[in-house]
Amino acid sequence: MAIYLNTNRPLENFKELCRKKYIVDKSLIIEKLNEFIDSSDKYICITRPRRFGKTSIINMLGAYYTKEINSKEIFDKFKISNSESYLENLNKYNVISISFNKLSDRGNTYNHYMEMIKTSLINDIAEKYPEIDPEKYFTISDMLEATNDKFIFIIDEWDYIFNNKMFKDNQNDFLEFLRNLLKDRTYVALAYMTGVLPIKKHSSTSALNMFDEYTMLNDMIYGRYFGFTEEEVKELCEKQSKISFKEISDWYNGYINEDGDRIYNPRSVVKALQNGKCISYWTNTGAMDEVKEYLKYNTMEVREDVIKMVSGYDVDIIINEEFRAGQEPPKTKTEIYSAMIILGFLSYYDGYLKIPNKELMREFEKALQDESFGYVSEIIKNSRSMLKATVSQETEKVAQILHDIHNSEIPILQYNDENSLSCIVTLAYLSARDTYRVEREEKTGKGFADFTFHPMRKADLPFILELKKDETVDIAIKQMKEKEYFQKFIKEHENVLLVAICYDSKIKNHTCKIESVYIREV
């Protein structure tokens, strides 16, 4: 039987976290929460994507508030120990800690699920308060009222059955259970609830409308406590020497909270530092097929935006509505984007939408290869031919491939704005990212190269690509030489290809010129 009341489980989990090498002190969130104990603002729901440190905070709160354990020795080392409210609330409360991600072994129905939770709560209350006979009370809330005590509720994964599309016919019953347990109850000193999805709405209201909600789209208070800030990541990087902060930033930087702080996914940063290697860690924790599925809900409307974002551009869009638990699959563009922001697949700040970082970029690149994206998927499947033609210096073939893409039915690839040529080049060379690190507008030599292709394998040639509109390929080659764009490659390579691609808007024609340069002689 699960134990929810005054369990030492959060303390043991928090001790385990404290023993890790790469830990960030987020304890000052406790100072903020202490302000709301026994106030009208005591109901707080904070939702964040997977792996953003929600459960670590949950365990810390349980370890701090729960009576019948002593965690002073641990918390004396944390920032919260300097707060005026520190000792006043340390280990002073009955705490009911519930994670709703556990299913009953007795069956997989909603009744089995709730029976496990309710029976555990009833047994916990009866054991701590033997004078309270469960047979005399109709509800758990009646039993708690009869204790004449105060309780702090710490609830993790509140949205588990919604997020996993379980018990659809009983989801409103679950919300009513939470409402009856928490709303307007004098025994509630604080209710702290977290999950991935914001609370389900009934029309314009909610069964849990007493909660103040803080989400990826709306949080001016708790933004710094979920995920690592840039300064925190820099401090962690100083604990090892294998990976630089720049490498970590290139891979995992990309989220921005409402205060303007840059936020990193904690799991990915810690795993990279532990392993000494930057790869996709968070995306391997499951459900990244959701990227492809969400885009499929309205492929035609989101296709051009995704091409822009994969090419490194932000999308200017206003998103006001939040995707919530229990909602039907999103259909409109803004609904799709809202869902993807809430789940952490996209970053949104100050009216601009973008793919957060290299880790997520890989997933969007894979999504574009799906047949639902039509001609875009064909371009990507054929992009190996573009790479092969480039390194073989087949300039006519390179120009022809670009010309064919330009003549597609996709408006953004028909040069309607100044970014279109970059979008075409990005798609045409997308498969190159399997064997090359591709950088846009990289500082090198005496300027910024449009594209630089850094080989991951020793046998492959590096190349620099310069785009020009209504200019000649010779001017582009000359610019690359004069500004010494090849400087980035001198230490590790002897040769580099200079690739000039130009588009003549009058005759609607592409030209290409490729020169092999022996760097050591330049």
What letters, b where the CB count within 10 A reaches 16 and e where it falls short, cover 28-62? Answer: ebbbebbebbeeeebbbbbbbbbbbbbbbbbbbbb
| Whether the Cβ atoms of residue 462 and residue 453 lie closer than 8 Å to each other | yes
Query: Domain end: 372, 387, 417, which one?
Result: 372
pLDDT of 206 reads 74
Give 514's DSSP letter.
Answer: E
> Tokens 């990227």 correspond to what residue?
291
Token output for 203: 């029309």
Does 292 share its domain with 277? Answer: no
Size of the chain, expressed as the number of residues it contains: 522
pLDDT of 412 reads 81
Does 165 share its domain with 46? Answer: yes
Does 44 share its domain with 170? Answer: yes
- Minimal CA–CA distance to 365: which of 319, 431, 279? 431
Burial class (CB in 10 A: 0-12, 13-18, 19+), 502: buried
Task: Decide if 3 is inside a domain.
Answer: no
Task: Decide if 57 is inside a domain.
Answer: yes
pLDDT, tens digit, 9 for 90 and up, residues 339-384 = 999 999 999 999 999 999 999 998 899 889 888 888 899 999 889 9
Does 464 share its domain with 359? Answer: no
Q: What CATH number did the domain enclosing 461 receive?
A: 3.40.1350
CA distance 458 to 415: 36
Q: For residue 192, which amino acid is it?
A: Y
Does 170 share its domain with 48? Answer: yes
Does 163 share its domain with 305? Answer: no
Q: What CATH number did the domain enclosing 97 receive?
A: 3.40.50
Does 368 share its domain with 405? Answer: no
Does 379 share its domain with 480? Answer: yes
Does 72 share its domain with 93? Answer: yes
CA distance 406 to 106: 60
Query: Domain end: 185, 209, 224, which one?
Result: 224
Query: Domain end: 372, 389, 418, which one?
Result: 372
Does 188 share its domain with 51? Answer: yes
Strand 447-455 relative to strand 94-99, pairing = unpaired
Does 328 share its domain with 424? Answer: no
The long-range contacts involving 78-81, CB below 8 angstroms and separated by at least 24 positions, are 78/25, 78/27, 79/25, 79/27, 79/28, 80/27, 80/28, 80/30, 80/31
| Whether the Cβ atoms of residue 94 and residue 5 lie closer than 8 Å to each other | yes
Number of Cβ atoms within 10 Å of the Cβ of 90:
22
pTM reported for the whole predicted model: 0.91
Task: Decide if 2 is inside a domain.
Answer: no
Ranges in the chain, pLDDT < 50: 287
pLDDT of 298 reads 85
Does 504 share its domain with 436? Answer: yes
Task: Decide if 4 is inside a domain.
Answer: no
Task: Decide if 118 is inside a domain.
Answer: yes
pLDDT, tens digit, 9 for 90 and up, residues 59-80 = 999 999 999 999 999 999 999 9
What is the tally of structural domains in the chain?
Answer: 4
pLDDT of 204 reads 54
Domain of residue 410: give its range. 375-521
Listing DSSP states for 145-165 in one string gives HHTT--EEEEEE-TTHHHHTT
pLDDT of 37 reads 98
Task: Decide if 178 is inside a domain.
Answer: yes
pLDDT of 284 reads 66
pLDDT of 207 reads 86
Task: Decide if 1 is inside a domain.
Answer: no
| Whether the Cβ atoms of residue 515 and residue 479 lie closer than 8 Å to each other | no
pLDDT of 23 reads 96
